[in-house]
């Protein structure tokens, strides 16, 4: 019986090994089939998006929030994402870009200095000075103040020495730009929730691009950011914002349905920021004409809905610096709908109308906080009054 027992034990061992090997093989085959529950964006291609919830939140009739269907995605860079970029530090960025700004605005400084350095300035000369300042979008009131101050200085000192005139012009312009205004961006967590920045503006001002560049500015300061793609009417807006985020590791909350309620997307973005313990949530809104009452009312709704979770610390209005007085009318309309806290002036490298900085600040009573000086990803600079005036004067 001994040999029989040994044979039985060998057969049992072989059976166990075969069953185990089959189990491993089955597991491997299933694993190669992929994770069939992994989230995908609407086009069916994996993008690292995580479906937050199959719902959309909108303001209810009593000011509450009710569900209306429609998915909201949080898109984060997936494992196949390229190496993240490290944005340039924003500190001193305007100084580094000063040459570019000076080239675009040199006409103002050159014309003014040429006029003011003439011997025996006539009324015609002073009218030319005034016309030059008005052409730079300085505004009527600020122009009159500046001309009056310059005339007094020339009369009292009895000189039009170019060096002295340049100093007067620098000092008076700097006073109008007002370096005492608080131009800091509210970008720090407070009371357990992230800072919320709402970015608004009309079509074509570079609003979504500004959101992407602002994200880079804050990432360079080691802030944890979440983007909210609440521009649900322009098909490419969410994709554009997601691309900006992927480059620097910023997740983007977006709807998976075109034309979804913007307030619900903004709400979910802030909610995701709270859950992720992020420092800042930047919400991109759809561009809208300032004359369209319904679209303007929608901005107020977005702000109200978001503030059910966290206060909106910044409402940044993006203006195209080349639009001049039309840009001023836009600014005033937006300010009537939502409490603007700061201005972003884009395309400053393409205009000699630097006076709009003074004009918009005086009209709205809020500071210019950021200016766009080019097409590069790090060409958004915190506004520096001294560097700006120095660039204009040359």
Q: What is the pLDDT along the chain (394 residues), one digit of tens a residue?
A: 455 556 556 656 556 555 555 554 444 444 434 332 323 233 333 233 333 433 334 444 334 443 333 466 666 655 545 688 888 777 767 766 676 666 665 567 778 888 888 888 889 989 998 988 888 888 899 999 999 999 999 888 887 788 888 899 899 999 999 999 999 999 999 888 999 999 998 877 889 999 999 999 999 999 999 999 998 888 788 999 999 999 999 999 998 877 788 999 999 999 999 999 999 999 999 876 545 666 677 888 899 999 999 999 999 999 988 877 777 787 887 887 788 999 999 888 766 667 888 988 988 899 999 998 888 898 898 998 988 888 877 6
DSSP H/E element including 229? strand 225-230
Which parts are annotated binding residues?
A: 201-208, 284-288, 346-349
For residue 273, tell me if it sits in a domain: yes
For residue 12, tell me if it sits in a domain: no
Q: What pLDDT sits at residue 149?
A: 92
For residue 219, tell me if it sits in a domain: yes
Annotate 243-302 with DSSP letters as a single string: HHHHHHT--EEEESSTT--HHHHHHHHHHHHHHTT-SEEEEEE----TT-HHHHHHHHHH
Q: How far apart are CA 317 and CA 103, in angstroms?
A: 26
For residue 44, tell me if it sits in a domain: no
Lookup: tokens for 379: 């060409």
Q: What pLDDT sits at residue 17?
A: 57
**Domain region containing 297:** 195-340
Which parts are annotated binding residues for GTP?
A: 201-208, 284-288, 346-349
Q: Measure CA of the first residue to CA of the last residue in the chain; give whole Å.
A: 108
Q: What pLDDT sits at residue 276?
A: 95
Residue 342 makes CB contacts below 8 A (sequence gap 6+) with 183, 185, 314, 315, 316, 317, 366, 367, 368, 369, 370
Structural domains counted in the chain: 1
Q: Do 377 and 210 touch, CB atoms closer than 8 A? A: no
Q: What pLDDT sits at residue 119?
A: 81
Q: What pLDDT sits at residue 28?
A: 47
For residue 270, tell me if it sits in a domain: yes
Q: What pLDDT sits at residue 356?
A: 85
> Cα 81 from chain centroid?
23
For residue 390, tell me if it sits in a domain: no
Backbone angles phi, psi at 74, to 5 degrees: -110, 110
Look up the CATH number of the domain holding residue 214: 3.40.50.300
User: pTM for the whole thing?
Assistant: 0.78
Q: Do 300 and 338 touch, CB atoms closer than 8 A? A: yes
Half-sphere exposure for 55 (CA within 13 Å, toward CB)? 8
Q: What pLDDT sits at residue 366?
A: 94
For residue 183, tell me if it sits in a domain: no
Q: How far apart are CA 259 and CA 155, in angstroms?
A: 62
- The partner residues of 225 in beta bridges, in order of sequence, read 280
């Amino acid at each position: 019986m001994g040999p029989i027992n040994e044979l039985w034990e060998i057969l049992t061992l072989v059976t166990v090994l075969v069953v185990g090997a089959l189990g491993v093989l089955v597991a491997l085959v299933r694993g190669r089939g992929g994770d069939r529950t992994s989230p995908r964006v609407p086009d069916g291609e994996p993008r690292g998006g995580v479906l937050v919830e199959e719902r959309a939140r909108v303001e209810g009739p009593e000011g509450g929030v009710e569900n209306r269907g429609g998915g909201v995605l949080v898109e984060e860079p997936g494992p196949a994402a390229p190496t993240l970029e490290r944005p340039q530090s924003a500190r001193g960025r305007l100084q580094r870009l000063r040459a570019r700004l000076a080239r675009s605005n040199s006409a103002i400084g050159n014309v003014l200095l040429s006029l003011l350095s003439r011997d025996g300035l006539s009324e015609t000369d002073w009218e030319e000075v005034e016309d030059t300042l008005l052409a730079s979008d300085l505004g009527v009131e600020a122009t009159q103040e500046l001309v009056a101050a310059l005339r007094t200085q020339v009369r009292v000192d009895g000189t039009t020495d170019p060096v002295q005139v340049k100093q007067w012009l620098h000092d008076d312009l700097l006073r109008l730009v007002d370096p005492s205004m608080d131009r800091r961006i509210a970008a720090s967590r407070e009371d357990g929730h992230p800072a919320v920045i709402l970015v608004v503006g009309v079509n074509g001002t570079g609003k979504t691009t500004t959101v992407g560049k602002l994200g880079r500015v804050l990432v360079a300061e080691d802030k944890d950011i979440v983007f909210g793609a609440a521009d649900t009417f322009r098909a490419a807006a969410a994709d554009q914002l997601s691309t900006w985020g992927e480059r620097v590791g910023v997740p983007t909350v977006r709807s998976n349905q075109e034309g979804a309620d913007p307030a619900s997307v903004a709400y979910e973005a802030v909610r995701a920021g709270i859950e992720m313990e992020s420092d800042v949530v930047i919400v991109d809104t759809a561009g809208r004409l300032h004359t369209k009452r319904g679209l303007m009312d929608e901005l107020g709704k977005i702000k109200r809905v978001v503030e059910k979770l966290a206060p909106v610390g910044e409402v940044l209005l993006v203006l195209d610096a080349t639009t001049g007085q039309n840009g001023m009318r836009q600014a005033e309309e937006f300010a009537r709908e939502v409490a603007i806290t700061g201005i972003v002036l884009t395309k400053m490298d393409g205009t000699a109308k630097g006076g709009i900085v003074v004009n918009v600040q005086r009209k709205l009573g809020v500071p210019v906080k950021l200016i766009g000086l080019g097409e590069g990803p790090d060409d958004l600079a915190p506004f520096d009054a001294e560097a700006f005036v120095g660039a204009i004067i040359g």
